[in-house]
């Protein structure tokens, strides 16, 4: 199975969908979701906390307000 690309528009959609109605994105168990979490950290849209991932100010601006 191939992983999705890390292109920002696909990544931002995945992040927006993941945070729809919640504040924390739990750590993923599937490869595509894990890939997006890794890329989100790389682009500084999300940061990893003890309970999962949370949006940064940049992530909130880019994903939630686009």
Model pLDDT for residues 7-58, shown as the tens digit of each residue: 789 999 999 999 999 999 999 988 899 999 999 999 999 999 999 999 999 9
Per-residue buried b or exposed e for 2-36, using 16+ beta carbons within 10 Å of the residue's own CB: eeeeeeeeebbebbbebbeeeeebeebeeeebebb
Quick check: 1 pLDDT over 60? no
- State residue 6's pLDDT score: 61
Q: How many domains does the chain have?
A: 1
> Is 51 a member of any domain?
yes
- What range does the domain containing 26 cover? 8-64
Confidence of residue 64 (pLDDT cuts 50, 70, 90): confident
Q: What's the half-sphere exposure (Cβ side, CA atoms, 13 Å) at 29? A: 0
> Is 1 a member of any domain?
no
> How far, in Å, CA of 66 to CA of 61, rounded?
7
> Is 3 a member of any domain?
no
Confidence of residue 3 (pLDDT cuts 50, 70, 90): low
> Is 50 a member of any domain?
yes
Give me 2's structure tokens.
């191939």
> How far, in Å, CA of 42 to CA of 7, rounded?
12
Quick check: 2 pLDDT over 80? no
């Amino acid at each position: 199975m191939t992983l999705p690309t890390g292109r920002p528009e696909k990544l931002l959609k995945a992040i927006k969908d993941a945070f729809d109605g919640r504040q924390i994105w739990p750590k993923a168990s599937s490869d595509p979701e894990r890939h997006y979490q890794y890329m989100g950290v790389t682009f500084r849209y999300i940061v990893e906390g003890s309970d999962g991932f949370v949006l940064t100010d940049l992530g909130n601006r880019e994903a939630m307000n686009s």
